[in-house]
């Protein structure tokens, strides 16, 4: 029997920020729900009271909202459901499918040490599975606190047909012994709470990262023991760094944290497109890289998700983001860039029309929106450093001096309202001095913008206007050596 109604979920734990991998898994579930006309549920797995933080929960909810991933049900909080988990544990105990384990931390440590010394896999040896009533009484009298463990079937192959990886078989003897399902304080462990929730919430599919393969093998017997219908399982490959390591905060800093992309001016549609495309291509046209969630949904198939690890590639992500930025109107890009511009530049120095022209000049080259202030900063900064070694080399030639003096003397002739005309005047100066290309443009660019690269020179001259051009050239002439 399977659950007929399509119901899928994403179940983040608020023990850290919203992770890139969680978002990718959420997107695959979201696409599946859309394709099959099912429901997508958000469940916050917040039973780890020591490591949970409200700010993480908030960041997770904000992150999904930012990505325009919406849910049909939830957020459902596991912390509101503790009584349900307790009842299920009691049921399993009364049916002999779970048992109290009184082992102390020291005893378990000793067991592990012995196994390590014998070069055996470390696992719980199920030693309290069949305690007599007297033994239990004795432990209780000693003041020991009991946890609850689930009785896994012995030496049994747990098999399922994985939606992504195909047939899987894991033997129960490789699962570390009977898993703990309840702590002594009545808080359930992940593997138990997740089964009860996926069972009670009638999930048709559980699609998650392939770091959960062994958990699935532990969970399937629990589903059966609790009498729930089994969902269909699918395990997507994890995201690895270029050096083939699992993305982690310790090793890779913030790159796995969605907040980084929110803060740096990535567009949610670019990030979604990139994350889906990492391990999934459109059937019939694997060349097609740019697509929206709505375009991908009707074509989505779990079986097309690659089994190989996905590799994080910032250049590729930037390529997607650049594409989506270019697709936005100038006004939208300006509006979205304001949060980066306002704290750094004195925008009142120019009219909005002029600032729009500046943004327009750099828009096509943007990887992300937080680059905007840096790229147009020179318009606003009369004291920008121009005496770098590279700039000095450009300015210190005889020709550079001639170009700048000539431009200074021609300022009255320039039509500052007309960028192509400004450029033309510069070219005329070049003709008079028999200079062109970098010999002509670079000294001017360095003098007025602090760099030999940048937006269209005519536009830069026109926007800066006569007074700024004059004082900047005079300042540059002083730097000439």
| Catalytic (active-site) positions | 249
Residue 389 beta carbon to ligand GLU: minimum distance, rounded to whole angstroms: 51
Residue 124 beta carbon to ligand GLU: minimum distance, rounded to whole angstroms: 22
Residue 212 beta carbon to ligand GLU: minimum distance, rounded to whole angstroms: 6
By CB under 6 A, which span of 8-16, 55-63, 79-87, 170-178 interacts with ligand GLU? 8-16
Query: With respect to ligand GLU, which residue has the nearer C-beta, 42 or 386?
Result: 42
Burial of residue 87 (number of CB atoms within 10 Å: 0-12, 13-18, 19+): exposed
Query: With respect to ligand GLU, which residue has the nearer C-beta, 42 or 414?
Result: 42
Residue 449 beta carbon to ligand GLU: minimum distance, rounded to whole angstroms: 48
By CB under 6 A, which span of 5-13, 50-58, 313-321, 343-351 interacts with ligand GLU? 5-13
Interface with ligand GLU, residue 225, by CB under 6 A: no
Beta-carbon contacts of 194 under 8 Å, excluding residues fewer than 6 positions away, are 11, 45, 215, 219
Asked if 467 and 473 touch (Cβ cutoff 8 Å), the reply is no
Give the x/- contact pattern for ligand GLU in 32-51, rule: CB under 6 A: -------------x------
Interface with ligand GLU, residue 208, by CB under 6 A: yes
Query: With respect to ligand GLU, which residue has the nearer C-beta, 11 or 31?
Result: 11
d(CA 139, CA 159): 37
Using CA atoms, how far residue 105 sits from 126, 143, 147, 152, 188, in Å, is: 15, 14, 11, 21, 18
Interface with ligand GLU, residue 194, by CB under 6 A: yes
Interface with ligand GLU, residue 265, by CB under 6 A: no
Residue 12 beta carbon to ligand GLU: minimum distance, rounded to whole angstroms: 5
By CB under 6 A, which span of 6-14, 308-316, 418-426, 463-471 interacts with ligand GLU? 6-14
Interface with ligand GLU, residue 13, by CB under 6 A: yes
Q: Which of residues 285-324 bind ligand GLU (CB under 6 A)?
A: none
Given 3, 12, 175, 274, the residue binding ligand GLU (CB under 6 A): 12
Q: How many residues bind ligand GLU (CB under 6 A)?
A: 7
Interface with ligand GLU, residue 217, by CB under 6 A: no
Interface with ligand GLU, residue 11, by CB under 6 A: yes
Query: With respect to ligand GLU, which residue has the nearer C-beta, 11 or 464?
Result: 11
Asked if 405 and 481 touch (Cβ cutoff 8 Å), the reply is no
Query: With respect to ligand GLU, which residue has the nearer C-beta, 43 or 149?
Result: 43
Query: With respect to ligand GLU, which residue has the nearer C-beta, 128 or 208?
Result: 208
- Name the site residues for ligand GLU (rule: CB under 6 A): 11-13, 45, 194, 208, 212
């Amino acid at each position: 029997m399977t659950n007929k109604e399509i119901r899928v979920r994403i179940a983040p734990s608020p023990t850290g920020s919203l992770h890139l991998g969680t978002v990718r898994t959420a997107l695959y579930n979201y696409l599946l729900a859309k394709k099959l006309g099912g429901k997508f549920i958000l469940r916050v797995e917040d039973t780890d009271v020591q490591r949970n933080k409200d700010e993480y929960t908030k960041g997770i909810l904000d992150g999904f909202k930012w990505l325009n991933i919406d849910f049909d049900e939830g957020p459902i909080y596991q912390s509101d459901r503790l009584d349900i988990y307790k009842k299920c544990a009691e049921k399993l105990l009364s049916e002999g499918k779970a048992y109290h384990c009184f082992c102390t931390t020291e005893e378990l440590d000793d067991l592990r040490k012995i196994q390590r010394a014998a070069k055996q896999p470390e696992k719980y040896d199920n030693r309290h599975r069949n305690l007599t009533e007297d033994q239990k009484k004795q432990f209780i009298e000693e003041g020991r606190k009991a946890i609850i463990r689930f009785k896994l079937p012995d030496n049994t192959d747990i098999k399922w047909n994985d939606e992504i990886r195909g047939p899987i078989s894991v033997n129960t003897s490789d699962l570390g012994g009977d898993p703990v399902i309840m702590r002594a304080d009545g808080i359930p462990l992940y593997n138990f709470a997740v089964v009860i929730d996926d069972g009670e919430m009638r999930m048709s599919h559980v699609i998650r990262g392939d770091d959960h393969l062994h958990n699935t093998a532990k969970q399937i017997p629990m589903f059966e023991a609790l009498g729930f219908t089994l969902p269909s399982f699918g395990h997507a490959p994890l995201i690895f760094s270029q050096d083939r390591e699992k993305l982690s905060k310790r090793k890779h800093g913030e790159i796995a944290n969605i907040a980084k992309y929110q803060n740096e001016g990535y567009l949610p549609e670019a990030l979604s497109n990139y994350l889906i495309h990492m391990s999934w291509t459109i059937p019939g046209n694997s060349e097609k890289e740019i697509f929206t969630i709505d375009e991908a949904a009707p074509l989505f198939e779990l079986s097309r998700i690659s089994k190989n690890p996905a590799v994080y590639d910032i250049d590729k992500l930037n390529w997607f983001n650049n594409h989506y930025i270019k697709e936005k109107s100038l006004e939208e890009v300006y509006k979205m860039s304001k949060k980066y511009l306002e704290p750094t530049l004195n925008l009142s120095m120019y009219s909005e029309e002029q600032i729009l022209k500046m943004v327009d000049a750099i828009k096509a080259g943007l990887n992300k929106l937080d680059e905007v202030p840096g790229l147009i900063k020179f318009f606003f900064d009369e004291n920008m450093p121009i005496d770098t070694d590279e700039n000095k080399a450009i300015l210190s030639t005889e020709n550079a001096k001639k170009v700048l003096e000539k431009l200074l003397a021609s300022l009255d002739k320039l039509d500052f309202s007309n960028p192509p005309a400004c450029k033309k005047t510069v070219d005329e100066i070049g003709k008079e001095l028999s200079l062109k290309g970098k010999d002509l443009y670079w000294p001017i660019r360095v003098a007025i913008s602090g760099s030999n690269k940048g937006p269209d020179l005519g536009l830069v001259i026109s926007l800066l206007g006569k007074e700024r051009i004059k004082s900047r050239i005079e300042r540059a002439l002083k730097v000439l050596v």
